[in-house]
């Protein structure tokens, strides 16, 4: 019998049969201009900017333009957040575990600033120097799954809906912000959808797929362009399909015109 990782233990304790209403959307964007812009940003700043950082900034811009999505549900009503925070998932231990790195005020920071901050947070996590993560991980290791399920539900409500800090467990108020961004492109996967995480209590989950050359039509002719697929899982309680389309339009325009990302 193989040893169960903390990540798998948490997954078993978290999810049950699907029963919530979610909207699933897919957006394919032309990435030629974005890749050129990223290369120039790397040369200009010396920071390893990636498409995931750019997508995170585009999502932050969209959230800033969509106040009805940038918030949480508490006591049966929508409560807006005071700022736009985006959480990125960080792979640990060769892929056997995941951790979160939240960037606050992401809409007000440049892409290279987001990349630099995220790089520092990821390094702390991988070196075991993030005190909050180590506290929370240690607590989960000690508890059986049948206790973890009600505990994370209650803790998720306290931190994610009410914004209460729980230092003893290494948890801050609104630990995941308003969006979670992750990527499978680095693993060569074209696309996928992020399953909602109940205790995170965020309205939108974004997944970045691989950038690949694909045939597309430009000015009536079939050409090969670098394209990237982005998918989103959105809590239907916050917005409907029309508003989701508006959100997608902001993200597309920002990524296909990357010079506007840092405006």
Q: How many residues in total does the chain contain?
A: 263
Average pLDDT over residues 169-195: 92
Mean pLDDT on 111-134: 96
Is residue 57 within 8 Å of residue 254, measured between CB atoms? yes
Task: Write the pLDDT tens digit of every residue in 60-116.
Answer: 999 998 878 899 999 888 999 999 999 999 988 887 889 999 999 999 999 999 999
Contact assessment for residue 233 and residue 191, using Cβ atoms and an 8 Å cutoff = no
* Cα gap 213→31, rounded to integer Å: 9
Domain coordinates of the chain in residue numbers?
6-254
Q: Are strands 179-183 and 86-92 parallel, antiparallel or unpaired?
A: parallel
Domain 6-254, CATH number (from 3.40.50.2300, 3.40.630.30, 3.40.1790.10, 3.30.559.10)? 3.30.559.10
Please check whether residue 204 is in contact with residue 86, taking contact to mean a CB–CB distance below 8 angstroms: no
The single-letter DSSP state of residue 129 is -
pLDDT of residue 146: 92
Using alpha carbons, select from 213, 236, 250, 238 the residue that is nearest to residue 35: 213
Answer yes or no: is pLDDT of 6 > 80: no
pLDDT higher than 60, residue 2: no
Mean pLDDT of 208-224: 92
Query: Is the pLDDT score of 242 beyond 80?
Result: no
Instruction: Check pLDDT > 50 for residue 1.
Output: no
Mean pLDDT of the chain: 91
User: Is pLDDT at 14 greater than 60 in this prediction?
Assistant: yes
């Amino acid at each position: 019998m193989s040893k169960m990782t903390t990540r798998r233990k948490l997954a078993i304790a978290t999810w049950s049969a699907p029963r919530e209403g979610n909207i699933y959307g897919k957006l394919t964007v032309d990435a030629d201009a974005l890749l050129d812009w990223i290369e120039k940003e790397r040369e200009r700043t010396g920071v390893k900017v990636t498409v995931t950082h750019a997508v995170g900034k585009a999502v932050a811009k969209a959230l800033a333009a969509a106040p009805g999505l940038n918030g949480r549900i508490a006591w049966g009503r929508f409560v807006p957040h005071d700022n736009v925070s985006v959480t990125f998932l960080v792979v640990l231990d060769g892929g056997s575990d995941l951790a979160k790195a939240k960037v606050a005020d992401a809409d007000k920071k440049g892409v290279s600033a987001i990349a630099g901050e995220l790089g520092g947070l990821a390094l702390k996590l991988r070196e075991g120097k993030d005190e909050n993560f180590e506290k929370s991980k240690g607590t989960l290791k000690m508890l059986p799954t049948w206790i973890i399920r009600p505990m994370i539900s209650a803790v998720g409500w306290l931190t994610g809906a009410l914004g209460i800090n729980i230092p003893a467990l290494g948890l801050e108020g609104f630990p995941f912000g308003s969006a979670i961004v992750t990527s499978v492109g680095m693993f060569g996967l074209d696309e996928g959808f992020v399953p909602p995480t109940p205790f995170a209590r965020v309205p939108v989950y974004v997944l970045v797929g691989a950038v690949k050359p694909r045939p597309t039509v430009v000015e009536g002719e079939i050409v090969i362009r670098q394209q990237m697929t982005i998918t989103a899982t959105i809590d239907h309680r916050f917005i409907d399909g029309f508003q989701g389309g508006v959100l997608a339009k902001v993200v597309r325009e920002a990524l296909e015109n990357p010079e506007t990302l840092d405006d």
